[in-house]
């Protein structure tokens, strides 16, 4: 296809996209009858902090195919878009934007401002996603999207955590984990796995000098020596200042080595032998450690005999601290089953703060705990020689280790040093080297769930299947307790409050529970709108104090009537808007219920909505200014204010008087106006725009003139717009008295941590529904004898291979722990898309084409089908190639478009009544059988979720349809008569059914194909079944069912046609070898031994003759080749060939002039061509073949042929 055609493809797709939106086709696909019920699909939420890339497009296309297919199979498939909003990925982006380098910089900048920037950042590209995702052909509800940062979602996360806590599956613990010193937070084990890199570090063997009281160590030959050293090996020299013990394997043999001397003097060897010095290490490691030395083994001892030895601390920063807990147990040798002799020296240096084995040994043996590194990764001040240094600087991770090593060398404590290349974890978001670090965190007891997780995993259908048993299953087998808390800022807060005076801890599952414990002001609030005023009667806006709009007589009566009800409310105070109509209302209230003038307070904040230029204009004019009710919250009339601004002042007013000691315990009446009253209720409820509109309802007014409503209010954490906001710092301000402490007045404060963002995304099944333990119309995860599960588990999910240790894992852990069952039945796992050169796709390197540029060039369908036909949908890597997309565009959609255009051209020849299929023609029968075979193949593959196996046969079928069926049927159709009708009717059925089959894969072209065929039928006046059953869209059609009419004798016919095409291919090769063009007729082709019996199959032999352009087909088992062509050219054959060449030349001229097929023109020939007599001899044949009205022999003035 040329560039213009490619642009046309994109334009056509965009028109179809507009058609879907205008006709609400997606919505109608959800509303259509679903006899098979709901098919549950969970859509993993992406971050909107960047634009969609090929990984998103691949996974999104997979997510689109299956729901489309299941919808056509009679299921209802709700699919709701969601956004992943929290976590380190967003925080890191904000830190870069604000040029904040460390956690302390965020605190200095201001937590509220930081999180507000994060909120904006996370949705920065949301509009681009809302444009790109539909443009890729996805049907998904992006208008009612969920966001993990919404309070309703957070409350579901709280419910999950509290449920786990009550099941004793969530706990707070102190464990060795991996810490990112730049982000200053610990990470979960599966986050850690995402950041491993091969790096070169410095490993050291260090000498620990043994204290030798009498009899402490067998000395072999009783030789005199000055010192004995234990040799320990480590790849983390920065941990050595935290050393408190050494560990040996009690069952291994250790050697006391003496007389150590270099074999050859080598300046590169750091250790220099010393007279009379002994070394202790595992015997089997001695050969490797002393490979540069000659040595003797003085004595062998079991590891258990070394246990209890004391040694001199390498560093004395903490060793001399007499107040150090468990100091008496430090700097000794202990037994450790974890000690191996596969590497190192068989002696492990123990720093409890920096390793799991180390920490567990310290608990067992009551060792001192030294954490000489802070959470920022820097050495603490007491480590004087290295204070302030980063343990592993990001730019130069060896820098501090080298300084440690230099220090050890100067003290004579270094035995050896060498570089070591190994896999080391880095932060998955900021790429900083991680530190193994013991810290407090909240955990989920995954180990306790492991057997159940493994058994539930066995029930999941994984595609590819080996992921379930392999990568994912192995991960589950070794899974540890999941650290779910982060010492960060932008995330759902951990709902745990702890007393600052005792050990009391409270866990909350929703804001209702939190409200129950919050202190109340004791105030009661009554909200009143003024009585009817002049402006209400005139239906105009009155938003300025100077407007002289008084209460009407009706309005006065309304106020008096409501005062009768107010008398028993015992009103203490009345706050009044300064407007004339509210002041007049207040005067009547005072008279009717007997309040003194001092009980009335006028407050500017509860005034009418400011409408600026629309003051005194009609209400209709005002409402017409806005495109939607939602817009009123973000847009104001010129000189006016938005509803959000009104909500801010009304919320500020209510919060201030509720917190005031002056007004505590009062019954308060607030006399205001409709919009302010509505916004006051919205602020009291912490409502966002959507909830505020729900509060108002469908009535013209929120509160009628003279009406009173009681207002319930308990202060909740809210943002500046008085929307419920459970984020920090608002939630941190929520404190309440500790009940057990009573009179001590101790306060319960929230623990400062937030949730791991994977805990939040794993809560998606119930979080998007807002589930908090009570059944919802669309979500009920708990089944039973008399109740059926709804919305759980998912029938299908899909994401990339990297999510095996991310979203898939968090879904499974939370689903099993909360509901006792896996949260998904089927999962398709796609592989990674690489650049064409095999490298990672890189914006910097520009080694891949922009996805949307590609879509504009080839169309979304071509990209979709290319991806779906690739091994990437089966968990394998794909080297992305634009040439592959181009090939799909040409060979599939280009060919299919040609077929469609041909059909549309000749569709008027179709009969206008029902027509019975199949026909008697072998080609028609064959293509119908091929369609049935394709339908079965695609259906079987989609039922198995093997999308590549479903997608690839589509292109093969198009090839058969275009290059075989249509090419062999063109002349039939052009010729007219019943044979043409048979072929056209067959083609119509094929195209309509193929449109349905390709609809899940190529939704745009499927729509165009479906509509074009039906439109062609309508234009020609046909009224057959295919036209009368037409749906508004192909995506509202049902999936083609197996059609037995087209399948007899299916197997034989498919095999026979396959053999015919094979023989034709061999025949064409023979012609090519003989250098004889196909347009040149030949006498015969001879077949040696066809795989099917063809002698009596004239319809198949005709195909062979037509395709090879021969007069007859012969059979001879004695010929050498399988197919032989008789290339002898008789004069008659030569003339026929010349005629065909002439026709071809004329057809090329027709194309150049842009003539339509069948459009008749005259042909003029040159005198030279006319002299041959060829065109005169075959004039009628040429006129018919080339659609000529006449031939003017010898009349051309330029060239051999001219069309006139």
Bridge partner list, 310: 332
DSSP string, 1027-1073: HHT--SSGGGSPPPPP-GGG-TTHHHHHHHHHHHHHHHHHHHHHHHH
Residue 215 in this model has a pLDDT that exceeds 50: no
How many angstroms separate the CA atoms of 294 and 109, rounded? 62
pLDDT of residue 3: 46
pTM metric for this prediction: 0.88
Rounded Cα gap, residues 141 and 127, in angstroms: 14
State the Cα–Cα distance between residues 396 and 390, nearest whole angstrom: 10
SS (H, E, C) 134-202: HHCCCCCEEEEEEECCCHHHHHHHHHHHHHHHHCCCEEEEEEEEEEECCCCEEECHHHHHHHEEEEEEE
910 has a pLDDT exceeding 90? no
Per residue in 397-441, pLDDT (tens digit) is 999 999 999 999 999 999 999 999 989 999 988 889 999 999 999
Beta-ladder partners of 749: 498
- Tens-place pLDDT, residues 88-121: 889 999 999 999 988 999 999 999 999 999 999 9
**pLDDT for 25:** 97
Query: At 1021, is the pLDDT very low, low, confident or very high (cuts 50, 70, 90)?
Result: very low
Q: Which two tokens stand for residue 22?
A: 């205008």
pLDDT tens per residue, range 990-1020: 999 999 999 999 999 999 999 999 988 765 4
Residues 6+ apart with CB under 8 A from 505: 496, 497, 498, 499
Average per-residue pLDDT for the chain: 90
* Higher local confidence (pLDDT), 1154 or 717: 717
**Average pLDDT in the 290-310 region?**
91
Q: What is the pLDDT at residue 6?
A: 58
Q: Grade residue 219 by pLDDT with cuts at 50, 70 and 90.
A: very low
Write down the pLDDT at residue 739: 87
pLDDT in tens, 530-544: 999 999 999 999 999
Structure tokens at 917: 């299929």
Domain spanning 198-436: CATH 3.40.50.720: no
Contact in structure between 712 and 680 (CB atoms under 8 Å): no
Helices (H), 24-110: 25-31, 54-72, 88-98, 103-109
Question: DSSP letter at 746?
Answer: -
**Residue 224, pLDDT score:** 36
User: Which alpha helices (H) appear in 1093-1178, and where do they start and end?
Assistant: 1098-1108, 1131-1152, 1167-1172, 1174-1177
Q: Is 246 strand, coil or helix?
A: strand
CATH value of 854-1055 in 1.10.287.3610, 1.10.10.10, 1.10.730.10, 2.60.40.3080: 1.10.730.10
pLDDT digits (tens, 9 = 90+) for 708-743: 999 989 898 999 999 999 999 999 999 999 988 876
Model confidence at 1023, pLDDT cuts 50, 70, 90, reads: very low
Per DSSP, what are the bridge partners of residue 205?
A: 233, 416
User: Could you tell me the pLDDT band of residue 1182, with boundaries at 50, 70 and 90?
Assistant: confident
Q: Are 553 and 728 spatial neighbours (Cβ–Cβ below 8 Å)?
A: no
Residue in this structure with the two tokens 């319960």, named with its chain if needed: 748
For the stretch 51-82, pLDDT in tens is: 899 999 999 999 999 999 999 999 999 999 99
Q: Given this model, what pLDDT does residue 1022 score?
A: 47
Q: How far apart are the first and last CA of the chain?
A: 29
Q: pLDDT value at position 363? A: 92
φ/ψ of residue 334, rounded to 5: -130, 160
Looking at domain 521-713, its CATH superfamily turns out to be Phosphoglycerate mutase-like (3.40.50.1240)
Instruction: Say how far apart CA 186 and CA 1198 lie, in whole Å.
Output: 85
Residue 239: pLDDT over 70: yes
What average pLDDT does this structure show over 174-200? 87
Q: Does the structure show a pLDDT above 80 at 618?
A: yes
**Domain regions of the chain by residue span:** 198-436, 521-713, 854-1055, 1056-1129, 1132-1203
Q: Is the dihedral of CA 960, 962, 966, 970 positive or negative?
A: negative
> What number is the average pLDDT over the span 244-250?
96
**Which helix (H) or strand (E) element contains residue 575?**
strand 573-576
Spatial separation of the C-alpha atoms in residues 259 and 286, rounded to whole Å: 13
Question: Has residue 1191 got a pLDDT over 60?
Answer: yes
In the predicted model, what is the mean pLDDT of residues 794-819?
A: 95
Q: How far is CA 411 from the centre of its chain?
A: 55
pLDDT digits (tens, 9 = 90+) for 756-790: 999 999 999 999 999 999 989 999 998 776 778 89
**DSSP at 763:** T
- CA distances to 310, 380, 615 from 323, rounded to whole Å, are 20, 18, 76
pLDDT band at 276 (very low <50, low <70, confident <90, very high): confident
Digit-coded pLDDT (tens) for 849-873: 899 999 999 999 999 999 999 999 9
pLDDT of residue 313: 93
- 439 forms beta bridges with 175
Among 56-60, 591-595, 907-911, which is the least confidently predicted range? Answer: 907-911
The DSSP symbol for 1159 reads -
The answer to whether the CB of 790 falls within 8 A of the CB of 778 is: yes
Query: What is the share, in percent, of the chain residues with pLDDT greater than 70?
Result: 94
């Amino acid at each position: 296809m040329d560039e213009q055609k490619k642009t046309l493809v994109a334009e056509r797709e965009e028109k179809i996209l507009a058609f879907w939106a205008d006709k609400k086709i997606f919505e109608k696909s959800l509303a259509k009858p679903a006899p098979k019920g709901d098919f549950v699909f969970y859509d993993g939420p992406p971050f909107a902090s960047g634009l969609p890339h090929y990984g998103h497009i691949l996974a999104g296309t997979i997510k689109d195919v299956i729901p489309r297919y299941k919808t056509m199979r009679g299921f209802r498939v709700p699919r709701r878009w969601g956004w992943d909003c929290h976590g380190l990925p967003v925080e890191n982006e904000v830190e870069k934007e604000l040029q904040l380098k460390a956690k302390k910089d965020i605190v200095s900048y201001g937590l509220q401002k930081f999180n507000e920037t994060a909120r904006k950042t996370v949705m920065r590209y949301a509009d681009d996603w809302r444009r790109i995702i539909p443009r890729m052909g996805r049907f998904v509800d992006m208008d009612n999207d969920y966001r993990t940062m919404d309070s309703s979602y957070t409350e579901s996360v709280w419910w999950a955590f509290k449920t786990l806590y009550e099941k004793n599956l969530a706990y707070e613990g102190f464990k060795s984990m991996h810490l990112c010193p730049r982000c200053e937070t610990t990470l979960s084990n599966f986050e850690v796995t995402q950041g491993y890199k091969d790096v070169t570090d410095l490993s050291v063997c260090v000498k620990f000098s043994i204290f030798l009281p009498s009899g402490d160590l067998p000395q072999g030959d009783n030789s005199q020596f000055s010192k004995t050293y234990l040799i320990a090996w480590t790849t983390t020299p920065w941990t050595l200042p935290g050393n408190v013990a050494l560990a040996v394997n009690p069952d291994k043999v250790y050697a006391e080595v003496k007389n150590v001397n270099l074999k050859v003097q080598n300046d590169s060897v750091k250790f220099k032998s010393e007279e009379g010095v002994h070394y202790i290490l595992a015997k089997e490691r001695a050969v490797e450690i002393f490979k540069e030395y000659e040595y003797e083994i003085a004595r062998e001892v079991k590891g258990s005999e070394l246990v209890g030895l004391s040694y001199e601390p390498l560093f004395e920063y903490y060793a001399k601290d007499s107040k150090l807990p468990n100091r008496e147990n430090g700097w000794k040798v202990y037994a450790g089953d974890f000690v191996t002799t596969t590497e190192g020296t068989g002696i492990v240096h123990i720093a409890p703060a920096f390793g799991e084995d180390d920490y567990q040994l310290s608990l067992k043996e009551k060792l001192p705990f030294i954490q000489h590194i802070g959470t920022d990764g820097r050495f603490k001040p007491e480590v004087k020689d290295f204070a302030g240094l980063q343990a592993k600087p990001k730019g130069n991770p060896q820098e501090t280790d080298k300084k440690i090593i230099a220090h050890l060398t100067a003290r004579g404590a270094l035995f050896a040093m060498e570089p070591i290349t190994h896999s080391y974890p880095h932060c998955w978001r900021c790429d900083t080297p991680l530190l193994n670090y013991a810290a407090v965190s909240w955990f989920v007891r995954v180990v306790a769930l492991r057997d159940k997780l493994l058994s539930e995993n066995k029930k999941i259908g994984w595609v590819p299947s080996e992921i379930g048993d392999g990568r994912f299953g192995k991960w589950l087998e070794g899974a540890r307790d999941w650290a779910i808390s982060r010492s960060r800022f932008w995330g759902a807060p951990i709902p745990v409050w702890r007393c600052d005076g005792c050990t009391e801890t409270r866990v909350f599952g929703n804001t209702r529970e939190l409200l129950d414990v919050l202190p109340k002001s004791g105030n009661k609030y009554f909200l009143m709108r003024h009585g009817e005023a002049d402006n209400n009667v005139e239906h105009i806006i009155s938003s300025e104090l100077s407007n002289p709009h008084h209460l009407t007589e009706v309005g006065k009566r309304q106020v008096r009537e409501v005062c009768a009800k107010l008398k028993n409310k015992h009103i203490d105070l009345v706050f009044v808007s300064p407007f004339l109509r509210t002041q007049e209302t207040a005067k009547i209230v005072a008279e009717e219920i007997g309040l003194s003038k001092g009980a009335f307070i006028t407050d500017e904040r509860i005034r009418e909505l400011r409408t600026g230029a629309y003051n005194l204009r009609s209400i209709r004019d005002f409402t017409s200014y806005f495109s939607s009710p939602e817009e009123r919250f973000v847009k104001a009339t010129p000189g006016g204010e938005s509803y959000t601004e009104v909500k801010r002042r009304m919320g500020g007013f209510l919060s201030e008087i509720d917190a005031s000691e002056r007004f505590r315990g009062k019954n308060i009446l607030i006399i205001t106006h409709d919009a302010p009253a509505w916004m006051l209720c919205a602020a009291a409820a912490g409502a966002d725009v959507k909830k505020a509109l729900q509060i108002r309802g469908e009535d013209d007014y929120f509160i009628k003139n003279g009406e009173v409503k009681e207002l319930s209010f308990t202060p909740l954490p809210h943002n500046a717009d008085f929307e419920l906001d459970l984020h920090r710092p608002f939630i941190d301000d929520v404190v309440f008295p500790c009940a057990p402490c009573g009179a001590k007045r101790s306060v319960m404060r929230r623990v400062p941590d937030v949730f791991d963002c994977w805990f939040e995304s794993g809560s998606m099944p119930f979080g998007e529904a807002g589930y908090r333990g009570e059944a919802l119309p669309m979500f009920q995860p708990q089944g039973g004898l008399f109740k059926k599960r709804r919305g759980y588990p998912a029938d299908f999910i899909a994401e990339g291979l990297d999510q095996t240790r991310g979203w898939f894992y968090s879904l499974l852990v939370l689903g099993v722990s909360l509901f006792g069952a896996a949260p998904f039945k089927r999962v398709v796992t796609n592989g990674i898309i690489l650049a064409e050169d095999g490298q990672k796709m890189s914006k910097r390197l520009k080694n891949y084409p922009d996805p949307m540029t590609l879509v504009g060039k080839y169309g979304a369908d071509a990209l979709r089908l290319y991806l779906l036909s690739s091994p990437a949908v089966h968990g394998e890597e794909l080297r992305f190639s634009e040439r592959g997309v181009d090939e799909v565009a040409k060979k599939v959609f280009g060919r299919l478009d040609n077929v469609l255009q041909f059909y549309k051209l000749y569709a008027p020849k179709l009969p206008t009544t029902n027509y019975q299929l199949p026909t008697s023609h072998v080609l028609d029968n064959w293509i119908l059988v091929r369609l049935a075979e394709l339908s079965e193949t695609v259906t079987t593959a989609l039922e198995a979720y093997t999308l590549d196996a479903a997608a690839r046969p589509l292109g093969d079928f198009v090839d058969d349809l275009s290059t075989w069926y249509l090419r062999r049927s063109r002349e039939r159709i052009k010729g007219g008569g019943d044979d043409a009708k048979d072929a056209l009717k067959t083609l119509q059925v094929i195209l309509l059914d193929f449109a349905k089959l390709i609809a899940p894969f190529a939704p745009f072209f499927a729509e165009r194909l479906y509509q074009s065929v039906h439109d062609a039928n309508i234009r020609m006046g046909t009224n057959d079944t295919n036209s009368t059953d037409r749906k508004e869209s192909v995506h509202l059609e049902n999936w083609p069912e197996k059609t037995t009419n087209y399948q007899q004798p299916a197997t034989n016919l498919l095999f026979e046609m396959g053999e015919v095409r094979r023989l034709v291919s061999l025949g064409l090769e023979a012609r090519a070898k003989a250098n004889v063009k196909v347009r040149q007729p030949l006498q015969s082709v001879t077949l040696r031994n066809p795989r099917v019996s063809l002698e009596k199959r004239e319809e198949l032999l005709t195909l062979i003759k037509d395709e090879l352009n021969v007069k007859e087909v012969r059979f001879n088992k004695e010929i050498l080749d399988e197919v032989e062509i008789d290339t002898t050219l008789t004069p008659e054959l030569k003339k026929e060939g010349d005629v065909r060449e002439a026709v071809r030349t004329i057809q090329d001229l027709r194309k150049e002039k842009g003539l339509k097929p069948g459009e008749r023109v005259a042909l003029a020939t040159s005198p030279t061509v006319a002299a041959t007599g060829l065109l005169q001899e075959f004039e009628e044949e040429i006129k018919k073949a080339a659609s000529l009205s006449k031939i003017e022999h010898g009349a051309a003035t330029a060239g051999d042929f001219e069309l006139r």
